[in-house]
Amino acid sequence: MDMSAEELDSVATFYNLIFRKPVGRHVILLCDSISCWVMGYENIRLQLTKRLNIKYGETSADGRFTILPNPCLGTCDCAPALMIDSDLYRNIKVEQLDDILRKYE
């Protein structure tokens, strides 16, 4: 690409969907911006990390999921929100998480 490693890295860090290390088969992007934070983001984060037994940036032992924080997903009126791959979930409730995760093998 005729670029230095530093130039390539600066491009990669600009785009949040360019992963700089291996990820699971599905990537969960959990919005941690203000509307989602106010509407229960922390409970969603706690339940997801507990359920998958991973922290942000980690991949579940079965290789299914990687969870990453993400700035606003553009659906603030339906907070809290998360994305799994290209699927957007809005107005998420903790009780829905198991059903949502079950869709992804």
Q: Characterize 6-32 residue by residue with b for buried, 16 or more Cβ atoms within 10 angstroms of its Cβ, and e for exposed.
A: eeeeeeeeeeeeeeeeebbebbbbbbb
79 binds ligand FES (CB under 6 A): yes
DSSP single-letter state for residue 86: T
73 binds ligand FES (CB under 6 A): yes
Please list every residue from 7 through 46 that binds ligand FES, using CB under 6 A.
31, 33-36
Contact 82, 96 (CB under 8 A): no
Q: Toward ligand FES, which CB reaches closer, 76 or 101?
A: 76
Please report how close the Cβ of residue 90 comes to ligand FES at its closest, in angstroms.
8
- Among 17-25, 49-57, 66-74, 93-101, the segment contacting ligand FES (CB under 6 A): 66-74
Contact 40, 80 (CB under 8 A): yes
Which residues are at the interface with ligand FES (CB under 6 A)? 31, 33-36, 72-76, 79, 81
